[in-house]
Amino acid sequence: MFVQIVFYFLAAVLVGAAVMVITARNPVHAALFLVLAFFTSAGIWLLLEAEFLAIVLVLVYVGAVMVLFLFVVMMLDINLAPLREGFIRYLPVGAAVAAIVVVELALVIGVSDFGLESMPAPPAHPADYSNTRELGKLLYTVYVYPFELAGAILLVAIIAAIALTMRRRTGVKTQNPSRQVEVRREDRIRIVQMPAEPRERVDRS
């Protein structure tokens, strides 16, 4: 009973936050609502006994991805007025398409196939059950091949990003600290002998 109350509370907050993400006028607020949405879904995952994934969701998405989002949103000075201009005009069409998609999905993934009867809850695990250990065991034994492939994909992403962005431009002004430190007085100062000249007389009259 308590679990159900927690679930419905989290679910209500999640749906509310998700709606606010797409309706909030200020993009910074929208990003912060997305953070809230991630937090509440992490809570729901905790209810599902997926502790490790819940923590990872908070660490990776809230900690890294959303901070990046916030930076981007703050750095890009987007003028929102033109983006929102056609909202009312396109609302009927958009709503109709959304409704059709929802109905179609409901027909296909309906209660008949995916209801609580056909998908019973798995048995609860004992208290000393370690989610992280089980995941680690699977990841490094059964799924070791996909795991290594994912590593190769990340490597390709790094190579591609560097290959596409790094270039040696000519005429770029850069500093070389070691040369700056090693510099001697003679390199910078030239003492010249100049003949003394009479000072120009200022005419004050």
Please report whether residue 139 would count as binding another protein according to CB under 8 A.
no
Nearest to 73 by CA among 37, 30, 33: 30
Question: C-beta of 94: minimal distance to another protein in Å?
Answer: 19
Q: What is d(CA 200, CA 198) in angstroms, rounded to the nearest whole number?
A: 6
> Angle of helix 66-75 relative to helix 27-47, nearest 10 degrees?
170
Please report whether residue 114 would count as binding another protein according to CB under 8 A.
yes
Q: Which residue's structure tokens are 């992403």?
A: 157
107-112: which pairs have CB atoms within 8 A and are 24 or more residues apart? Answer: none
Largest CA distance in the chain: 110
Q: Which amino acid is at 91?
A: L
Residue (59 or 154) nearer to another protein, CB: 154
Question: C-beta of 143: minimal distance to another protein in Å?
Answer: 7
Segment contacting another protein (CB under 8 A): 15-23, 72-80, 95-103, 161-169?
161-169
Indicate which single residue of 152, 181, 191, 192 sits in contact with another protein (rule: CB under 8 A). Answer: 152
Binding positions for another protein, rule: CB under 8 A: 107-109, 113-114, 137-138, 141-146, 148-150, 152-153, 155-157, 159-160, 163-164, 167
